[in-house]
Structure formats: C-alpha cells, structure tokens
C-alpha cells in the first residue's frame, strides 16, 4: 500500500518529469524551470528554481553520482547543472536546433543521449560535453530513451510507435515497429538484467504497459507481458532500484505499481520516479503538483489526494476542516463545523459573513482566510483551462492569439520571438514556415474572453 507523504505546489505549469538521486528530487515543468528538493524533508534547495531554459523543460535526469543534473527543453538545448552550486556547467545545442524532448545519461556517466522533435538523436561524451555522433528516424518525434545497465546500448521510442535499439556508434541493432499503437511515450531498462537478457518496460498512447526481454547477444526483442491495468494513455513508467517493482502514470488519473496496488492522483499523471535509496515514489501531474508517496504495508484514513479529486463545490464539511488544518487555520475548524460549512459555502464566504455570522473577531484571521479562499478559486480555475487556450510555446493562457503559417495558434509575442531566433521553423512540426505572416485569431480570442468571464 501507499500513503501520501506530501504534495509540492511550486511549479506554475504542467510537471513534465521528475527524477531522484540518492539525496535529491528534481522536477521540471512547462513553466521553464527546474526545482530541486532535499529528499530528507522535501525542502527546496537554496539555489532552486533553476531558470536557464527559455521554453518548456521536458525531461531531467541525474548523473549516477548525483553531482550533475541534465535537462532538455523546447529551446533546443540540453543543459547540465551542478548540484553543488546550481550553476550551469554546459549548454549543448541539439544539431539542427530542433526542440529536445528527451535526454538520458548512461549508468557509467560516460555518455548522454538527447532526442528531438525532428526525429534526430545526439550522442554526447558527457565528461567533455562534446557531440560524438548523431542518428535519426525520419517523420517522427523522439520522446523516450533509456540506456541499458551495461551502458553499451540504448533504446529510443518515438511518436511513430516504434522502439529502436542502438549501439554507441549509432548503429541500429533492432527495430520493433508498432510496439505501441499511436505512439510510444516512455521506455526504461530494468536496472539489472539476467544473465542473457535485459528487461525493458515501455508504455504508450494505446493505454498499455509492456515488458520486453532483449537478448544480450542477438539483440532480438520478445514481448513478455502486456499490462492493461490503466484505461487511458500511459505517459510514464519507471523501475525501482532493485528492478522488482514497476510504476506507471496514466491519463486515467491513476498511478499503478505492479503488481501491488493502484493509487489515485489528481488529474493526468505525466511523470513518475522511484527513489534509489528510500521507499518513495514521486509523481508529477498536469495540475502543476508533485506528489510524494511512501511505500508501506498499509495506510488508513482519507488524505488530500482523495479530496483533490473533487471540485471544491463537492467538498464535505470534513474536507473543509482538513483544508483549514493544511492552510494553518486549524483554530477555525470547530467554528466551521458548528456552522456546517461545506465546499459550496466556503467559496461564498465574505468579510460580512465571517464577522456577523461566524463571529470571527480577528481582522487578520478573516483576511488570511479570504486570501486562501481566493487562491483556492484561482487554482480551481487554472486547473481547468482548455488546452487549446494555451500557447504551445509558453503553455500560458493566450492574450493575443495569432495563426502562423503552420496552421497552429500561438501567443503573438512568443511566436514572434521564436521566428526571430529559430530560423523560421514551426515549433510544432519543426518544418520551415513558408511565411512569417501572422494572422490574428479573433475567434479564439473571443472564446478565451468568454471562458475567463465564466470562470
């Protein structure tokens, strides 16, 4: 069983990835930042957040020693950070300047691979941060990559749905086409293999998690298991440090640890990671939060994860009481219970009702409560922003949406900046833009305005 240890609320956009080292947890987001936490108490380090990327950060991974963190971004770079100082050690520009969607470090710390939206792979010498070789798969986007435990081969996965095994000379050793219908989303090697084979887990848009055996001598792949425990696209998967457990996160709002239990999380689960040294799992979500779960024999009671599945208007009186305690307003619990305040009534509270009906005399306490209620309303509204109202580049609500030559709508300032620095390529397709002409999207702007008014 699991219990929710804590929830981290620091990111301002979707959490795209999370990764553990022996002592740290790193998370990255569409808000362009990475945040670093101490796993002893999940306090944020003094140099966090890390803000060197210009656009959404898609992936991050620690070096095996934990001294360095690599991250990749839509800005077409992979950045290496010092985990001692938080300073940038190196910036590696991807060949072709295509948005980088995935990066992975070899267990021996000698190599790093990065994969991009144009289907290219770049193999780097990690100590020197120099490019060694490149490879490519046409007409696809690289979204998944993992090194084998021996560090001599690595697997890539793409939106085309194929899994491809490569050696360090960028030779394709095996191609498993149509491994996942509609596309691969993540793949990961088990940390230790058997005598003659590796184990690999992969997941995809087909809502499946698959376990593969890869022969170490012939490199042939054999499908061992197809796990169907989740009912929507599976976005991430990770092995425990001993290879005995496998966790996956899905669009169906669940995290599954095979084959022990399933726990429910709030909104789509986009990232998951096991701690190598503690019985902890981190899960990142499109609700901008990171949940830390503790593996244990059992858990009891209802925690905040259960409450967060509900709209605030559906909160019970007990849910409101739990929220008050979490926000440091525990002195109000008895008064709220006595007046049967549920979620709907919580959102309708005013200065007048707090003073005249609930008889809260402290002006400071009333103001603090109302600030927390406004934050709750804001979080509820932000969590429900339709994706088509968000700029694909900034992942922020658009104010001046315009249509570019690729047919997609962007925030005017963001796409103008992109065109000026990205050699007129499309952020969504990486193909050349036939023209830099931008057409105001009045229909979308009106729809956003109506949505803002109703929320």
- Contacts of 222-225 with CB under 8 Å at 24 or more apart are 224/199
Q: What are phi and psi of 92, to 5 degrees?
A: -105, 120
**Closest CA relative to residue 283, chosen from 73, 17, 9:** 17
Task: Count CB neighbours of 114 within 10 A.
Answer: 26
Average pLDDT over residues 82-91: 96
Question: Quick one: tokens of 273?
Answer: 């990671």
The answer, yes or no, to whether residue 89 has pLDDT greater than 90, is yes
The answer, yes or no, to whether residue 356 has pLDDT greater than 70, is yes
Which DSSP string do the residues of 390-438 spell out, in sequence order?
A: B-TTT-SB-SSEEE-TTS-EEEHHHHHHHHHHTTTB-TTT-SBPS----
Domain that holds residue 127: 2-295
Asked if the structure places residue 204 within a domain, the reply is: yes
Higher pLDDT among residues 306 and 123, named by residue: 123
Q: What are phi and psi of 11, to 5 degrees?
A: -75, 155
In sequence order, what are the residues at sequence separation of 6 or more whose Cβ sits closer than 8 angstroms to the Cβ of residue 1?
260, 261, 295, 296, 297, 298, 299
Residue 335's CATH number: 1.10.150.50
The answer, yes or no, to whether residue 303 has pLDDT greater than 60, is no
Task: Count CB neighbours of 62 within 10 A.
Answer: 23
pLDDT of residue 425: 81
Interior CA angle at 289 toward 388 and 157, to 5°? 65
Least confident of 156-160, 310-314, 415-419: 310-314
User: Are 354 and 398 found together in one domain?
Assistant: no
User: Are 112 and 93 found together in one domain?
Assistant: yes
pLDDT of residue 33: 97
pLDDT of residue 266: 56
Q: How many domains does the chain have?
A: 3
pLDDT of residue 302: 39
What percent of the chain clears pLDDT 90, i.e. is strictly above it? 51
Q: What would the pLDDT profile of 149-164 be if each residue is shown by its tens digit?
A: 999 999 999 999 999 9
List strands edge to edge, sheet with 100-105: 100-105, 111-116, 120-125, 130-136
The answer, yes or no, to whether residue 104 has pLDDT greater than 50, is yes
* R_g of the chain computed on alpha carbons: 23
Buried b (16+ CB within 10 A) or exposed e, 215-241: eeeeeebeeeeebebbeebbbbbbbbe
pLDDT of residue 241: 85
**Closest CA relative to residue 16, chosen from 82, 72, 97, 69:** 72
The answer, yes or no, to whether residue 63 has pLDDT greater than 50, is yes
Residue 445's CATH number: 3.30.40
Interior CA angle at 430 toward 424 and 436, to 5°? 25
User: Are 266 and 361 found together in one domain?
Assistant: no
pLDDT band at 386 (very low <50, low <70, confident <90, very high): confident
Number of H helices, E strands in the chain: 8, 30
Average pLDDT over residues 37-57: 95
User: Are 121 and 46 found together in one domain?
Assistant: yes
Give me the chain's average pLDDT, please.
87
> Which of 240, 269, 295 is the last residue in one of the domains?
295
User: Are 238 and 270 found together in one domain?
Assistant: yes
Average pLDDT over residues 321-338: 85
The answer, yes or no, to whether residue 263 has pLDDT greater than 60, is no
Highest mean pLDDT among 82-91, 336-345, 402-411, 423-432: 82-91
In sequence order, what are the residues at sequence separation of 6 or more whose Cβ sits closer than 8 angstroms to the Cβ of residue 214?
148, 165, 174, 197, 198, 199, 200, 220, 221, 222
Asked if the structure places residue 304 within a domain, the reply is: no
pLDDT of residue 348: 82
Asked if the structure places residue 307 within a domain, the reply is: no
User: Are 375 and 393 found together in one domain?
Assistant: no
Cα–Cα separations (whole angstroms), residue 95 to 77, 100, 170:
9, 10, 15
pLDDT band at 1 (very low <50, low <70, confident <90, very high): low
pLDDT of residue 163: 97
**Closest CA relative to residue 391, chosen from 20, 8, 26, 31:** 31
pLDDT of residue 435: 85
User: Are 258 and 349 found together in one domain?
Assistant: no
Q: State the Cα–Cα distance between residues 437 and 425, nearest whole angstrom.
A: 13
User: In this structure, what is the dihedral angle of CA atoms 211, 215, 220, 221, given to the nearest 10 degrees?
Assistant: 0
Cα–Cα separations (whole angstroms), residue 137 to 4, 93, 134, 169, 382:
41, 19, 11, 15, 37
User: In this structure, what is the dihedral angle of CA atoms 119, 16, 75, 378, given to the nearest 10 degrees?
Assistant: 140
Q: What would the pLDDT profile of 183-211 be if each residue is shown by its tens digit?
A: 999 999 998 755 678 999 999 999 999 99
pLDDT of residue 229: 82
In sequence order, what are the residues at sequence separation of 6 or more whose Cβ sits closer than 8 angstroms to the Cβ of residue 410?
391, 392, 393, 398, 401, 402, 404, 418, 427
**Closest CA relative to residue 366, chosen from 331, 397, 392, 396:** 331
The answer, yes or no, to whether residue 125 has pLDDT greater than 50, is yes
Cα–Cα separations (whole angstroms), residue 169 to 119, 132, 135, 150, 172:
17, 9, 9, 15, 9
- pTM across the whole model: 0.65
Higher pLDDT among residues 219 and 451, named by residue: 219
> Which of 380, 396, 413 is the last residue in one of the domains?
380
> Which of 265, 295, 325 is the last residue in one of the domains?
295
The answer, yes or no, to whether residue 265 has pLDDT greater than 80, is no
User: Are 225 and 347 found together in one domain?
Assistant: no
Average pLDDT over residues 415-439: 81
pLDDT band at 419 (very low <50, low <70, confident <90, very high): confident
Average pLDDT over residues 366-380: 78
Q: What would the pLDDT profile of 269-287 be if each residue is shown by its tens digit?
A: 889 999 988 889 999 998 8
User: Are 376 and 394 found together in one domain?
Assistant: no
User: Are 280 and 361 found together in one domain?
Assistant: no
Q: State the Cα–Cα distance between residues 238 and 17, nearest whole angstrom.
A: 11
Average pLDDT over residues 2-24: 92
pLDDT of residue 397: 81
pLDDT of residue 54: 95
Average pLDDT over residues 44-68: 95
């Amino acid at each position: 069983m699991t219990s929710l240890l804590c929830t981290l609320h620091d990111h301002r956009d979707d959490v795209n990835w999370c990764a553990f080292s022996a002592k740290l947890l790193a998370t990255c987001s569409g808000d362009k930042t990475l945040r670093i936490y101490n796993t002893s108490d999940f306090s944020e380090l003094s140099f966090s957040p890390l803000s060197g990327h210009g656009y959404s950060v898609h992936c991050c991974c620690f070096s095996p020693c934990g001294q360095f963190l690599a991250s990749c971004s839509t800005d077409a770079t992979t950045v290496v950070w010092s985990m001692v100082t938080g300073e940038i050690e190196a910036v590696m520009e991807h060949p072709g300047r295509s948005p980088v969607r995935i990066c992975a470090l070899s267990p021996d710390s000698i190599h790093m691979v990065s994969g991009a939206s144009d289907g290219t792979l770049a193999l780097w010498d990690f100590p020197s941060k120099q490019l060694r070789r490149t490879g490519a798969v046409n007409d696809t986007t690289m979204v998944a990559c993992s090194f084998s435990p021996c560090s001599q081969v690595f697997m890539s996965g793409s939106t085309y749905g194929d899994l491809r095994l490569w050696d360090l000379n960028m030779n394709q050793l095996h191609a498993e086409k149509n491994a996942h219908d509609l596309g691969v989303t993540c793949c990961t090697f088990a940390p230790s293999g058997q005598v003659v084979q590796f184990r690999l887990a992969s997941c995809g848009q087909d809502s499946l998690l698959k376990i593969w055996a890869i022969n170490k001598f012939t490199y042939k792949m054999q499908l061992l298991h197809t796990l169907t425990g989740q009912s929507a696209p599976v976005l991430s998967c990770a092995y425990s440090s001993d290879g005995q457990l496998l966790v996956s996160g899905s669009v169906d709002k669940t995290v599954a640890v095979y084959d022990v239990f399933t726990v429910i999380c709030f909104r789509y689960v986009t990232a998951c990671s096991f701690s190598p040294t503690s019985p902890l799992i981190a899960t990142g979500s499109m609700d901008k939060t990171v949940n830390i779960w503790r593996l244990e024999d059992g858990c009891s009671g209802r925690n905040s994860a259960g409450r967060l599945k509900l709209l605030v208007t559906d909160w019970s009186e007990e849910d409101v009481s739990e929220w008050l305690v979490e926000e440091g307003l525990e002195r109000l619990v008895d008064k709220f219970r006595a007046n049967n305040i549920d979620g709907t009534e919580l959102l309708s509270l005013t200065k007048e009702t707090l003073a005249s009906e609930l008889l809260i005399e402290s002006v400071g306490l009333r103001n603090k409560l109302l600030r927390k209620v406004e934050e709750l309303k804001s979080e509820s509204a932000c969590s429900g922003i339709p994706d088509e109202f968000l700029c694909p580049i900034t992942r922020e609500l658009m104010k001046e949406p315009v249509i570019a030559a690729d047919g997609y709508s962007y925030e005017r300032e963001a796409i103008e900046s992109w065109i000026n620095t990205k050699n007129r390529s499309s952020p969504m397709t990486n193909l050349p833009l036939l023209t830099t002409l931008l057409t105001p999207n009045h229909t979308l702007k009106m729809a956003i305005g109506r949505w803002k008014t109703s929320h």
